[in-house]
Amino acid sequence: MTSANGEVSRARAADCLTIILAILLSAVALAYFHALDHHLFSSRYMSGIFRYLLKEYDAKTAWLTLGICVAAACWSNPAPSLKIVDFVNAHLVPIVIASVALLALGTVFVYHDNAFAMDEYAEVFQAKTFAAGQLRAHLPATVVDWLVPPELNGAFLAASKISGEAIEVFWPGFPLMLAPFEALGIPWLCNPCLAGVAVFLIHRITLDVTGNRRAAGWAVLFTLASGVFVAYSISYYSMQARLTTNLLFAWLLLKPDPRRSFAAGIVGSFALVVHSPFPHALFAAPWILSMAFSKERRRSLPILIAGYLPLLIVVGAGWLHLRGAITGGQPGFEPITATMSSVLKLPTIFMLDLRAAAMVKMWIWAVPGLFLLALLGRLRCGDDYRVRLLAWSAVLTFGGYFFVVFDQGHGWGYRYLHSAWGVVPILAGCAMIERPGSTGRLIAFAGAAAMLSLLLVVPYQLLQIDSVIERHLAQLPRPQRPARYVYFIKVRGGFYAADLVQMDPLLRQPDLFLFSRGPELDASLRQQNWPAAVLVERRGAIEAWDVGPASPSRSAGEPSPERFEVTYADAAPTQAPDP
C-alpha cells in the first residue's frame, strides 16, 4: 500500500513539475528578448532577416506562448482533451484530407503562392526545369549577369556566363518531387501533400512504438497545432520533404527485416539528395550505428547499404558531375558554398548566440511545452531502443548544426532542426500514455495548450507570414495589363530586394525581373531589346519599365507570346560593376 501511494505521489509530482517548468521556460523565452542586445545575448552577428523576424515577430509571439501556458495550467479537467484525441483517432483520414486542403489554401492565400526566399526559388526554378523535360536551363549567356545576381551566382543558382546553362546548387531531390505538380500547374499542392503523409507517419510510428492509440492521437494533435509544421507545409522550402523522408526511413527501420531495410535504404538515399546530404546523415547515423552494434539487426545492415547505393550513385553522383560540367573553370563564377571548412567550424561565442536564438524559436513555434513533453516521453519510454534512436536522431540533428556558422537567414522557427522535428511530437505522444495514480492534470494542460495553440498561435503566426511576404511583394509596382514590365532591381536596396530577382527557366513569364548593373548597362540592354520601353515608376531600389504587350505568335513554330526573348550584343564582363 505504501509503495502504491508513493507511486501515485511521484506521478502527481511529475505532472505538476512538468507544468511548472513549461511556464518557467516560456517565461525564459520571453526574458530572452528583453536581454537581447542588453544583457548576455547579442544580435550583432545575426543576418538581417534572421534578426528582423526574431525581434519584430517572434518577440510578440513569446508573450502569447507564455499566456497560453498560464491559461492551460489553470485548466484541470482532462475529459475534453481525451475526447478531442479520441476524435482525432476515429477520424484520422478525414482530418488529414481536410488539413491538406487547408494547407493548400494557405499556400495560395497566406504564402501568396510565392517562392519567398532564394532557397525556395532555387528549388522551384529546378522543378520547372525538370517539368519542361530538361536537366538544366538554357539562358541567354550574355544576359546571365542580369538574370542571376553575380554576387549570388553559386549560392543558390549556378549559371555559366559562357554557355548560359543554369541549375540550382542544391541537390535535386525536392525539385524531382515538385516537378510533377509544376507540370500539372498545381505546385501549391506539393508540400501540403507531403505534410499529409508526414501526419500519417507520425501517427503510425507513435502507435507502433507505444501500442497506444491515444498516444498516437496526441502526436497528431501536437503536430497540427504547431506553427512550424504548418508554416513549412504552406511554403516552397524543402523542409517538409526532408521531414517526411526521414520519418518514412525511421518507420521502415522500426522492424528492420530484409525488405524493409532495403526500402529504408532507397528512402534514405533519396533523403540524402533532397537538398543536401547533411540533415539525413545526422538523422540516420544513430539507426545505422545501432544496426552495426546489434547482433540481431546487424545482418540487415548490408541490405540497408545496398538500398542506398543505386539512387545515390545515379542521382547524387550524376548531379555533382552535371554541376561540375556547368561551373568548372568558368570565369566569374564564385561559389559561396564552396567547401565544408567554410561552413563547419568549432562553436564560437557568436555561434552560441545564434543557437540560443534558435532554441527560443523552437519553443515558440511549437505547442507551448512540446519539447518538455518530448523529454518526458523519452524518459518514460526510454527502455524501448526505438524511442532512444528517435531521440538521438533529433539530438544529433540539433547538435550537428551547432558547428554550422550560419544562422539560417530566412525561415520560420528554426528550420535547421526541421528534418528531425517529426520526432518531437512522437516523443511527446509517448509522454501522454496514462499512468496509474495520475490526476489527469498533465493531460488537461497538454490538451488545453494544444487547442489554444491551434486556435490562437498558429493563426497569429500565419498572419505574421502573410505580413512579411506582402511587404516583400509590395516593393514591386503592379503592372497594368496588357503591358509587360521589365524590372531592374538593385540587390543592395529595399527589403531583401535581391530575392525578387526570379525567373522561369524558359523565361515564360509575363514580366521579367533583372538585376540592375548600373544605369549605362541597363539602358544599353533596353535599347537593344525594348527600344520603346517607358519608365513607369522608380520605387526605392526598383525601376519598372513598360515594354509593351506581348506580340502574338505568327505561327506554331514561333515562341509563346509570354516568353521573353532577350540578348545583349557585348559579352558579359567577368565582374559586374557596382551599381
Q: Please check whether residue 383 lies inside any domain of the structure.
A: yes
**Residue 257: which domain range?**
2-109+188-469
Cα 266 from Cα 256, distance rounded (Å)? 14
DSSP designation for 117: S
pLDDT per residue as tens digits for the range 362-415: 999 999 999 999 999 999 999 999 999 999 999 999 999 989 888 888 999 999
Does 497 reside within a domain?
no
**Cα angle, residue 461 at apex, residues 102 and 366 outer, rounded to 5°:** 90
What's the rounded Cα separation, in Å, for the pair 274 and 316? Answer: 10
pLDDT number for residue 349: 85
Q: Structurally, how many domains does the chain consist of?
A: 1
- Structural domain includes residue 518: no
- Within-domain flag for 455: yes
The answer to whether residue 176 sits within a structural domain is: no
Model pTM score: 0.93
Could you tell me the CA-to-CA distances from 431 to 83, 377, 460, 532 in Å, in that order? 18, 4, 27, 68
Which residues of the chain have a pLDDT value below 50?
A: 1, 332, 334-339, 553-561, 571-579
Residue 91 lies in a domain: yes
Long-range pairs, 547-551, Cβ under 8 A, ≥24: 547/483, 547/484, 547/485, 547/486, 548/483, 548/484, 549/482, 549/483, 549/484, 550/482, 550/484, 550/510
In a domain, 171, yes or no: no
- Lookup: cell for 205: 510510428
C-alpha grid cell for residue 532?
520603346
Distance CA 345, CA 403 (A): 5
Is 479 inside any structural domain? Answer: no
Task: Give the pLDDT confidence score for residue 347 in this predicted structure.
Answer: 81
* 385-400 vs 239-252: helix crossing angle, rounded to 10: 150
